[in-house]
Chains A and B, each alone.
Chain A
Amino acid sequence: MSAIAKLTKAVMGEVDDRFHLTPVIEKNLTRKWVPQTLSWAGCFGGLAFLIFLIQIFTGILLLMYYKSDAERAWDSVTFVKSNVPMGWLIQRIHSVGANFMIALVFLHMARVAYLRIYRKPRELHWISGAVLLLATCMLAFTGYLLPWTQLSYWGAKVGTEIPSAVPLLGEYIVQLIRRGPSISGETLGFFFAVHIWVLPGLTVLVMVLHFLMIRRTGISRPL
């Protein structure tokens, strides 16, 4: 214990000589105190972010075995669940984590709405948060199709039907999202690309902006 502490101190001393890192860490993390009046409900956003990190991590693990091919997708997910050590756990964390993330994003949003934190100077926090809510829902929706089960197939069928209500362009948008007239292997490939690259990329970008805005204005303190 003390040996580790000594080693850490020695290494950090050398790093600080060059980069002055410790004051930055202290200012932003270890000595950044939470306002006393803030309740535990102020954690919802941070918890949603934590789950996002877990989703990224478990997602990378699942990606090692997943095949975005209509012939093999279901088999590859079944293989992870039954043959890969702890695969069932990683897969379950990823699927249940999605539900938790949506729940936390909604709780976070409900609190911000109820306490009217969205008012000036935090209008853009709210708007970027709304983008993150949509991105989270889309992540969940696209991920739902990937195991290629009956449930995911019909879920995607119903979900992609929604834009058909748009006047004139509706049917075209539906086909654009499905990459064809019906849910097929092309839909799976499209959802897969969107699920693992497009939406996580967008989410990370908007999240960084969201956090920078919070740092700039400071968090809202209840009176």
Chain B
Amino acid sequence: MENCQCSHGGAALGPGVGEAAGRDLAQPSRRGFFHVCMAAMTGIAALVVAFPIFSFLRLPKRIHTAKSIEVPLAGLSESQALFFEREGTQIVLIYTNKEAKAYDAACTHLGCLVSWDQNDRVFRCPCHGAVFDDQGAAVKGPVNMPLKKVKLEINKGVLVIA
């Protein structure tokens, strides 16, 4: 039966027959072939199911996020701080002594958003009591890093947060 090239060779490899005849194990068997085919088809089916699911869990397309923010200087007042969002970060804008300053509003301790205290002219962090002065320098609390400065440009009476 070994090296049998004849047309009824398939039948010789039926269940049990090949093993009983001491079939060469290096030769692929019909059953083994079907196992590989089944595994391949199952794999392809699994990929077809998995692809849309993992795609769905990716980040969705967001429509238009502003890269720069423009504020007319005339609209600014001494008494309040303005908050803006730019590409996922919060920016705080204050106007003191006719000078505008902008900072990343994330506290340099653990990233909570600071608020502006107009009476004491300081930024206060609600989480662990950090305090920053109007220059952004750390004054009190568990921080020593100053608030991150954000660059400002003045263009024909319009303040641009780039």
Contacts and interface: CB of A to CB of B under 8 A. Distances in A.
Interface of A: 1, 61, 65, 79, 83-87, 89-90
Contact of B60 (A61, A85, A89, A90): A85
Contacts of A1: 36, 39
A65 B52 CA distance: 16
Q: Kindly list the 8 A-B residue pairs having the minimum CB-CB distance in the complex, ordered from nearest.
A: A86-B55, A85-B55, A86-B52, A84-B60, A83-B60, A83-B61, A85-B58, A86-B56
B13 to A, nearest CB: 21
Chain B interface secondary structure, helix, strand, loop or mixed? helix
Contacts, number: 28
Band of interface residues on B: 10 to 19
A85 B56 contact: yes
B52 A90 contact: yes
Interface of B: 36, 39, 51-53, 55-56, 58, 60-63
A87 B56 contact: yes
Contact of B52 (A79, A83, A89): A89
A61 B61 contact: no
Nearest to B53: A61
Given A1-B39, A86-B51, A86-B56, 16 more contacts: A1-B36, A61-B53, A61-B56, A83-B60, A83-B62, A83-B63, A85-B55, A85-B56, A85-B58, A85-B60, A86-B52, A86-B53, A86-B55, A87-B56, A89-B52, A90-B53
